[in-house]
Amino acid sequence: NNKEEVAEEQQGETSQSNQAESSSQNNDKNNDQRIEQSPSSTAPTTSPFPECWFEDEESGLPLRWQLFVGVLYDLMKGRLIANNAGSPCNRFRNLPWKIRIHFTLYPTDQLLPLDITVPQQQHVSETGESMSTTKNSNASQQAQINTLIGRMYRNSLKQALFLQYGSSKVAMSITKNNHENMWDAVVQSNYDAYHQVNADLQVGVLAAPINNKLSLTDDLTDTDEKHNKELPQLVPVRILLNDKPAIQKPTLPQKKNIGEYLKQRPTEILQDDAVMYVSPYTTLGDVLVSCLPDLFKVDDDAPDCNAHYSIQGVQPSLTTTIVDLWRSLCHPDHFLYVIVATQ
């Protein structure tokens, strides 16, 4: 009998111990679930892929992701030509363009931050196992990058529209649908779709070229007066000198009002059998002399021998009107990018 009583007591203690252990495990599991399901401000942030950046292999300079690729290429090519590496025999040695991609050591002192990290989300599966997943998939994160760059583009376009019209009214009146259509057209390189929206935005985009060379004996025609009405208040121009930030100054389309210009224009030819040309319109040379007087001189159609300038890969004459260049060669954000490279 004593043995049976001892056995029953041992079984009771074992049963109580198992119940207590099971209850403790259940409590721990419930606590873990509450911790996993509750949001935490200290949750780690990760990205599905590393934050990368690009570098021009020739110069070792980081490529600014907010600039158009054509602008970046012209900067690289201009440096080669300015350093006497662009002679006819080796001018195209830089093609194909060699670009190095990095996944570490992002140069925050040279590039704008491109922070697209997303928070981790903890959750418990149906089987009770803890699982860690990212909030957005790779495809969603790619969309975030596209949104970020698209926002940079729209902000630049709004700046250009403000300069053209002298107010923010036109920029603020663009519908969301038109914004999206313009950005999609830029991404897909669809000029027809872009032009459908841009034709109503850019001042004088369909106007005929300006007659920049008005002689002393020419009369001002109705066409010239029409040009005057189709000019923007300010021409959106950005000058990029080497790897420095863009130089952006208010650029008037005309040196003087057409009416004032006619009153002050001489009525006689000063030299025998010579035609003297004067222009009331601002030229490319005027802009460069104003912004970079150390490299470009007044009444000089050639820059400093150590400088190379280009627009959209070509080198127009410094006497070309800035408005004609802007209408023909501006980028999709309505800015005319003038590239200047020096040794």
Peptide bond into 96 cis (omega under 30): yes
pLDDT-based confidence at residue 343 (cuts at 50, 70, 90) = confident
Q: Give which of 171, 172, 193 is closest to 182, Cα–Cα.
A: 193
* For range 7-23, the mean pLDDT: 56
**pLDDT value for 178:** 92
Q: How far apart are CA 289 and CA 329, in angstroms?
A: 20
Whole-model pTM: value is 0.72
Would you state the structure tokens that stand for residue 225, as one six-digit string? 């007066």
User: What is the model's pLDDT at position 135?
Assistant: 46
Least confident of 37-46, 96-105, 276-285: 37-46
Q: Within 13 Å and on the Cβ side, how many CA atoms surround 232?
A: 30
Better-predicted residue by pLDDT, 194 or 96? 194
- Asked if the model's pLDDT at residue 173 lies above 60, the reply is yes
Answer whether residue 182 shows pLDDT above 90. yes
What is the pLDDT, as a whole number, of residue 124?
46
pLDDT over 70, % of the chain: 60
